[in-house]
Amino acid sequence: MDPRRAEPDRDSPATLHGEFTITGNRKVRCAVSLTERELIVQRLTSAPVGRNKVVLSLKDCVGCRAHREDDNADPAAYLVVYLYPLRRRWVSSGVSRQRVEHSFRLTVLQDPRDNLEEAERWARAVRERSDRQQHLRDGALMSKLSRPCRMMLLVNPQSGKGQALTLYNNHIQRMLNDAGVQHTLVITERQNHARELVREADLSQWDALVIMSGDGLLFEVINGLLERSDWEEAIRTPLGILPGGSGNALAASVHYYSGSSPVSSEELLVSCGFLLCKGLVSPMDLVSIHLSSSTRLFSFLSLAWGFVADVDIESEKYRHVGAARFTVGTLVRLASLRVYKGKLSYLPVTDDCNNRRGLRNNMRPHRNNQASSLCPASPLNCPSKDSPLRNTFHNSCHSNNSFKVRRTESTPSRSATKALAGPPDSLLLPLDQPLPSDWVVVPEEDFVLMLAMYQSHLAEDLLAAPGAISDDGAIHLFYVRAGISRTALLRLFLAMEKGAHMATSCQHLVYTKVRALRLEPYSPKGIITVDGEVVEYGPLQAEVHRGLARLITG
């Protein structure tokens, strides 16, 4: 390759041209061209052009590096490009991201240092042009993590089937190395370990906090960040999610928001890892929840009471089967279907907010075989009658034993609620006060379930709120009235796998979008979950805070 012909101007879309050989077969020569969007590799043989031409999209590129081998007698430099393109699966239908590595050898210059300098110039150009493949989400250009990026990666080794560390070693470690992302691995050892850690950590050391677990570990991290005295700055630390548990609802939601076809298990992990490496950041809503003891929690995913909450907790005994535990739990609970008595009230989303968010939802890409956002003709949409870097492996427990852990389990007085960290709630009155007149009180008091969602997925294979996006400023409220048959309820959950439940004719299902809600169970005992975690049972209320956190969505 003649370096005088390559003009890698960082601000210019000019094509770079060069000649390389294939690493591992020095007899195969290639003409390589780098455009603004593609890397084109053409083998220099007598065969027809089409058979020897490979076009690599820079949108699929996570990293590129140049290096020399340890052999001083070899003057060559090497250019390695790492990509994760969508490819057809070997067995089942559909596509998933699969790792591809292309390595090229450069020997056209006599001085080994010159070869390395030229290879590094190409590597910089590939990285810069890959980074310039900007992504639009809902019509707005998303922000991007700085490069180089420093991540704290928290892993719960007990989550799911207990394979999180194995999945990290098999996929994520190499992927982050490919992308040139420095990361510190922190292995959590007990409940609330991550919450205590982020509450006291020096966050200036990190550009992002990444959680590899189920959804429970992120719940700890978010509440730990909002318990800090500098919560306003801390909660803006970009958060990443890698599926390592049995639910993996937020990871499935992030994958869904990217417009990709549904995947699960390790394919979902690879997809989320790819999106993490791309480093694009979106706002994410959080919901402030007040319990009857005046304890305040922040939620990123869901609030559940009734059938869904029971299944979530009762299926813990089947954790060894992974995500299938929810299916087993659903069948068990259907066999002894219960009715839950209580009072449900909510503040509806206004028409102006609906119109603005409707425009944003219409800009989302359509997905094959999945239900899109509710069309105006759907009865569920109408108001109801109630209207290469070395990683640092670090076990934080060994160096943070001096942390002063605040007792978040204590019960503050009701008058102390306003002093709790986090943004003030403007829509909620104390639980012992009557609701304002613009709130809707559901006339029914017998329910099978109540589910409030603020992300699209409730689990890997449950698309509960297909119209949701991470920062739409709405709580997607579902409830099922008593009287539904076991068969109809089972059909509803089966349809939820693809979001098709929104188009069913089930007369017992009600869906609406709200800004705040209040739930007052009548029974003294029961289960309420927030992001899959059991919380104090009793009256509670919730309010959405739009775009409070930052989520890495690629």
Can you say how many angstroms the Cα of residue 212 is from the centroid of all Cα atoms in its chain? 10
Which secondary structure element, helix H or strand E, spans residue 327, and what is its range? helix 325-335
Please give the structure tokens belonging to residue 434.
């009557």
Q: What angle do CA 79, 8, 388 make, to 5 degrees?
A: 30
HEC assignment per residue over 481-502:
ECCCCHHHHHHHHHHHCCCHHH
Q: How far is CA 501 from CA 361, 463, 494, in A?
A: 18, 9, 8
In angstroms, the first-to-last Cα distance of the chain is 35
Asked if residue 492 lies in contact with residue 458, where contact means CB atoms within 8 angstroms, the answer is no
Give φ, ψ of 454 to 5 degrees. -130, 5
Asked if residue 526 lies in contact with residue 213, where contact means CB atoms within 8 angstroms, the answer is no
CA distance linking residue 18 with residue 346, whole number of Å: 64
Non-local (6+) Cβ contacts of 88 within 8 A are 94, 95
CB-CB neighbours of 352 under 10 Å: 8
- Which listed residue (60, 138, 215, 285) is catalytic? 215
Buried b (16+ CB within 10 A) or exposed e, 257-284: bbebbbbbeebbbbbbbbbbbbbbbbbb
Q: How does DSSP classify residue 2? A: -
Please give the structure tokens belonging to residue 357.
């968010």
CB-CB neighbours of 289 under 10 Å: 24
Q: Does the annotation count 351 as an active-site position?
A: no
Torsional sign, CA 331, 332, 335, 337: negative
Asked if residue 149 lies in contact with residue 207, where contact means CB atoms within 8 angstroms, the answer is yes
Strand partners, 446: 341
Q: Residue 129 class from Cβ within 10 Å (0-12 exposed, 13-18 middle, 19+ buried)?
A: buried
Residue type, 550: R
Pairing of strands 340-348, 509-521: antiparallel
Q: Which residue has 């609406």 as its token pair?
A: 512
CA distance linking residue 273 with residue 250, whole number of Å: 13
Non-local (6+) Cβ contacts of 550 within 8 A are 236, 237, 238, 239, 281, 282, 283, 284
CA distance linking residue 294 with residue 433, whole number of Å: 14
Q: Which positions are catalytic?
A: 215
